[in-house]
Copies of this chain bind each other. A is one copy, B any other.
Amino acid sequence: MNQQPTAPTGTPTSADVARLAGVSRATVSYVLNDTAGGRVGEQTRQRVRAAAEELGYIPHAAARSLRAGHSGIVLLATPEITLGPLFSEFFTELRAGLRDHGYTAVIYGDNSGDGGDRAESAARIWAELRPTAVLAGVGTPLTPRSAELLRRSGTRAVITLADPPVAGVHALVLDQRRIGATAAEHLLARGHRALGVVVPTDRSLDLFSLPRLAGVREAVDGGIRVERLDLDYTEQAAARLAADWPGLGLSALFSYNDEYAMLLMSAFQDAGIGIPDEVALVGADDLMLARLLRPRLTSVQQLLPPGRTLADLIDRLIRHPDTPPEIHDLGTARIAVRDSS
């Protein structure tokens, strides 16, 4: 390993690099932030890079943002809820696609605390990083005012994943109601006339569960009974529902998602209740477990676009920051019919 000269003041600065390379600080900035254009000859560039290497100088992301125009950071703001396996792969592809476009994706937890002007507090915190683009995930607040705050600090594209869309902000909509409606349409086609719909008691899931219930209700006519069933994600709560099931007068159950379906399937089987004969069971997300349960689980798939497609869209919205607000469908719902319904 080469001996590295220590910069006189500790952390090396662009002034140190300039001194070592025998150039001005502006030249150092042009070369290391890649904004030199034709201004700086190749020999000088190499001398500057060598000096930076020798001193261990790292250009400041913020400095680059001030001079080069933008930080290259795409901030994905997530709420403090667990996004399951369904989204992990999508996010991985999204980050790879953003990287190919030269951006760096940073996942930023919701750090705004409680109460007061939550949307604005959140936006202020995000804005400190001077992100080039912000995607506010479901459950992370975004308002016209907070979006404006971001834009004024230099953010070029503000995109919300929430539904309903926010005025003046691009939106990627994953309509949760379609998921409930798709489950209901299938059960109706199977002849069921009295459906249960699980609503998790976990309030952080309301943004998914309540629209799904609404979608079921919208998909049925007046002659069909829809019963809301609030459920903790515990074996005890599932056992109680299984014990109550014969008295409910329902023949089918949309269990919110596959994980709740598995919870209930175990409880129904322990109670000797036959699937699908006494309860036609439908989940959602079409996780691997749907194929592994016995009976195999009917599940509503959320077909997300490839993460790279979304990365391309974000890139376009960044490069054309004056684009009027666009609304895009983030995915569609389709049902994988198996033995449980």
Contacts and interface: CB of A to CB of B under 8 A. Distances in A.
Contacts of A99: 111, 113
A83 to B, nearest CB: 8
A289 B262 contact: yes
Interface string A266-281: 1001100000000000
A44 interface: no
Given A269-B294, A288-B263, A56 B128 contact: no
Interface stretch (A88-96, A168-176, A220-228): A88-96
A74 B264 CA distance: 40
Contact of A107 (B1, B106, B129): B106
Interface stretch (A148-156, A183-191, A205-213): A148-156
Nearest to A108: B106
B85 A1 contact: no
A85 B83 CA distance: 9
B105 A56 contact: no
A1 B145 contact: yes
Interface string A114-142: 00000000001101111000000000000
Nearest to A66: B60
A79 to B, nearest CB: 10
A104 interface: yes
A58 B1 contact: no
A63 interface: yes
A2 to B, nearest CB: 10
Nearest to A292: B266
The 3 closest A-B pairs by CB, nearest first: A62-B62, A61-B128, A107-B107
Interface of A: 1, 7, 10-12, 56, 58-64, 80, 82, 84-85, 88-89, 92, 95-96, 99, 104-109, 111, 113, 124-125, 127-130, 145, 148-149, 152-154, 233, 235, 259, 262-263, 265-266, 269-270, 288-289, 291-294
Given A104-B109, A106-B109, 15 more contacts: A61-B128, A62-B130, A82-B88, A82-B89, A82-B92, A84-B85, A99-B111, A99-B113, A104-B108, A106-B108, A107-B108, A235-B291, A259-B288, A263-B292, A270-B294
